[in-house]
Amino acid sequence: MNALILTGSPKGRKSASFALASKLAEGLLENNVFVSHEPVHAGLRTEEGTRRLLDAVDGTDLVVLAFPLYVDSLPAPLTRLLELVAERRTRVASPGTPRLAAIVQCGFPEAHQCDTAVGICRLFAERTGMRWAGALAMGMGGSIGGDIGRLPGGGKHILDALKMAAESLAKGGAIPVEATTLFAKPLMPRWMYTMVGNLGWRMQMRKNKARRPLTYRPYSQG
Amino acid sequence: MKALVLDGSREGDPLTPVAVLGMTSALAGRVADVLLFKLRELAIAPCKGCFGCWTRTPGECVVEDGARDILRSYVGSDIVVYATPVTFGGYSSQLKKMLDRFIPVLDPRFTTVGGEVHHLLRYGRYPKTIGLGTLPSPDPEAERLFSLLVARNGLNIHQTVESIVLVGVADPESARSEAEALLDRAGVTA
């Protein structure tokens, strides 16, 4: 079996999405699945890269979309790739029936804010003849950075959920509900996440030597 | 009153341009200015996810392209219309490339809205959001998801929204009539 992980974050290998997807890839490899990893934003910048992405989708048994929540859905380049895949699959006589799974993380504390994005991925799978294999969605993605090990408790429940998902996907199954529930478990109390986040924006401004106040209104002064 | 219409139609999409035509003519009878952006003709880069618009140049994206003019118009508008082919229940990539660039209009700090965490608002007022989707044939699941997505986008700016999906509407008069009803529901009056 082979799997294709499509990372839909503009930050590529430095992203939380890549960090999560890499752990899933490790689990798949341990279960004898050959895994390839493609960054979507970089791929879509050229015709050759776009063709490579589409060919990779054509030739795989399992597609995993790993992305950050952007405005309640998928980042635009990943949406573009889904459009292109859908167009291509209508033109091909026997496009195959790969499975499709998703890993979504958002910067808000609540994992359920990813539900619309998961719904879009599921509908994409169903409307293009792929088989939906479930999703892992989490909130508090802002605390991951590029390193899951830095999370409270070493990110144990996240890693456990990814391992469970990998084992099931490798056997041809879907992501178990238990893994989805575990992955969605908050990493810390909501008040703590928002307090640290609010302080973090100020600290980042200082680091960037921002010359405007945080509340600046460039398009309507006053 | 001013209205901003974001046309997220894709190349070869026969229905969304008709929906946009119906909406702009309905708006023309109710507001003084209607500004239309055909997004697929504009060079708008994808969001880099750098948060520079919050922590480097607050309120403004660090990328200088067509998105800035649209954001300026957005802040100065009373109504914004998201016109799009419903794409697996979501927006087209053409509309989404612009919506991803909207985060500078928010303040990064967190607050609670409807029991869940969202961002604070940067501006004192925001345009009323109207979702205008198109589909070639009925797809109740896609229609439901689209409506939910527009509603969730409304939560981001702490407002309730209106949306509609026009199914197989290919003539401008029918599109206009649907748009009039939608604007009535949204409380947009002359």
| Residue A181 clears pLDDT 90, i.e. is over it | yes
Q: Inter-chain contact A83–B110, Cβ cutoff 8 Å?
A: no
A32-56 tens-digit pLDDT: 999 999 999 999 999 999 999 999 9
Q: How far is B65 from chain A (nearest CA, A)?
A: 15
| Residue B172 clears pLDDT 80, i.e. is over it | yes
Identity (one letter) of the amino acid at A35? Answer: V
Q: Inter-chain contact B92–A220, Cβ cutoff 8 Å?
A: no
| Residue A222 clears pLDDT 50, i.e. is over it | no
Q: Inter-chain contact B122–A217, Cβ cutoff 8 Å?
A: yes
Answering whether pTM is above 0.95, one says yes
> Which residues in chain A have their CB less than 8 angstroms from residue B72's CB?
219
Residue-range domain boundaries for chain A: 2-186
Mean pLDDT of B3-11: 97
Q: Kindly give, in sequence order, each residue whose CB lies less than 8 Å from that of residue A192, ignoring residues fewer than 6 positions away.
A: none
Pairing of strands B106-113, B116-121: antiparallel
Mean pLDDT of B51-56: 96
Run of H or E residues at B60: none
Q: How far is A183 from chain B (nearest CA, A)?
A: 19
| Residue B52 clears pLDDT 70, i.e. is over it | yes
CA B158 from centre of chain: 15
Q: Inter-chain contact A73–B55, Cβ cutoff 8 Å?
A: no
Torsion of CA A126, A167, A155, B120, to 10 degrees: 0
Look-up of token digits 């009323």: B128
Say which CATH superfamily domain A2-186 falls into: Flavodoxin domain (3.40.50.360)
Q: Inter-chain contact B88–A77, Cβ cutoff 8 Å?
A: no
Strand, coil or helix: A97 = coil
| B91 contacts chain A (CB < 8 A) | yes
| B57 contacts chain A (CB < 8 A) | yes
What sign does the CA torsion over B139, A122, A77, A71 have? positive
CB of B156 closer than 8 Å to CB of B106: yes
> Which residues in chain B have their CB less than 8 angstroms from residue A196's CB?
none
Residues comprising chain A, all counted: 222
| Residue B27 clears pLDDT 70, i.e. is over it | yes
A9, A197, A205 ranked by CB distance to B55: nearest: A205
| B75 contacts chain A (CB < 8 A) | yes
With bands split at pLDDT 50, 70 and 90, how would you rate the model's confidence at A151?
confident
Distance in angstroms (rounded) separating the CA atoms of residues A94 and A148:
39
Structure tokens, B95: 């509309």
Pairing of strands B2-7, B33-38: parallel
Distance in angstroms (rounded) separating the CA atoms of residues B134 and B87:
9
B101-134 tens-digit pLDDT: 999 999 999 999 999 999 999 999 999 999 999 9
| Residue A153 clears pLDDT 90, i.e. is over it | no
| E strands, B75-124, in order | 79-85, 106-113, 116-121
Q: Inter-chain contact A74–B96, Cβ cutoff 8 Å?
A: yes
| B92 contacts chain A (CB < 8 A) | yes
| B136 contacts chain A (CB < 8 A) | no
Q: How far is A203 from chain B (nearest CA, A)?
A: 9
Distance in angstroms (rounded) separating the CA atoms of residues A40 and A43:
5
> Which residues in chain B have their CB less than 8 angstroms from residue A75's CB?
46-47, 49, 96, 100
**Of residues A136, A196, A206, A192, the one with CA closest to residue A164:** A136
Give me the CATH number covering residue B159: 3.40.50.360
Range of the domain at B21: 2-185
Q: Inter-chain contact B89–A123, Cβ cutoff 8 Å?
A: yes
Q: Inter-chain contact B90–A74, Cβ cutoff 8 Å?
A: yes
**In total, how many domains does chain B have?**
1
A153 backbone dihedrals φ, ψ, rounded to 5°:
70, 20
> Which residues in chain A have their CB less than 8 angstroms from residue B145's CB?
116, 119-120, 123
Identity (one letter) of the amino acid at B184? Answer: D
B132-148 tens-digit pLDDT: 999 999 999 999 999 99
Q: Inter-chain contact A71–B153, Cβ cutoff 8 Å?
A: yes
Mean pLDDT of B7-27: 97
What is the number of other CB atoms lying within 10 angstroms of the CB of residue A20? Answer: 28
What is the number of other CB atoms lying within 10 angstroms of the CB of residue A59? Answer: 12
Q: How far is B30 from chain A (nearest CA, A)?
A: 24
Residue B122 lies in a domain: yes
Q: Inter-chain contact A116–B110, Cβ cutoff 8 Å?
A: no
Q: Kindly give, in sequence order, each residue whose CB lies less than 8 Å from that of residue B7, ignoring residues fewer than 6 positions away.
A: B16, B17, B20, B36, B37, B38, B39, B40, B83
Run of H or E residues at B173: helix B172-185
Adjacent-strand bridge partners of B113: B116
> Which residues in chain A have their CB less than 8 angstroms from residue B71's CB?
219
Residue B190 lies in a domain: no
B107 backbone dihedrals φ, ψ, rounded to 5°:
-95, 135
Residue B73 lies in a domain: yes
Residue of A nearest to B107 (CA): A215
pLDDT averaged over every residue in chain B: 97
Look-up of token digits 């791929």: A43
What pLDDT is recorded for position A154?
A: 85
**HSE (side-chain half, CA atoms, 13 Å) at B148:** 20
